[in-house]
């Protein structure tokens, strides 16, 4: 399962009470899909699942507004981690 699919599944299964589909460009915050507690749970899931740390300065709306933005952020973090380790 790719990163975006894993995040999408987590949001649907753990954060949404109804089983509505999550679109890649849907505003998760403005549409009320994910509240502040949900964001903390989402960050915890990302850190645990992908082995990265989300520092406070990265916890901004431009990184977490949509699945596409979140996927881009995660891709950058994983690449930076890989570059740093190599």
pLDDT (0 to 100) of residue 83: 86
Q: Could you tell me the CA-to-CA distances from 60 to 12, 63, 66, 74 in Å, in that order?
A: 21, 6, 12, 13
Token pair 């570059």: residue: 83
CATH number of the domain where residue 34 is located: 1.10.1200.10
Q: Please answer whether residues 34 and 23 qualify as being in contact, where contact means their C-beta atoms are separated by less than 8 angstroms.
A: no
Total structural domains within the chain: 1
Averages of pLDDT over runs of 10 residues in the chain (86 residues) are 88 80 88 85 96 93 93 94 79
Between CA 37 and CA 75 the distance in angstroms is 24
Q: Which domain holds residue 42?
A: 3-85
pTM for this model (two decimals)? 0.87
pLDDT (0 to 100) of residue 82: 84
């Amino acid at each position: 399962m790719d990163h975006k699919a894993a995040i999408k599944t987590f949001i649907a299964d753990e954060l949404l009470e109804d089983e509505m589909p999550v679109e890649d460009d849907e505003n998760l915050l403005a549409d009320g899909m994910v509240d502040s507690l949900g964001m903390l749970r989402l960050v915890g899931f990302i850190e645990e699942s992908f082995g990265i740390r989300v520092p406070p300065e990265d916890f901004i709306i431009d990184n977490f507004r949509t699945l596409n933005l979140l996927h881009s952020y995660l891709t950058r973090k994983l690449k930076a981690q890989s570059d740093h380790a190599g």
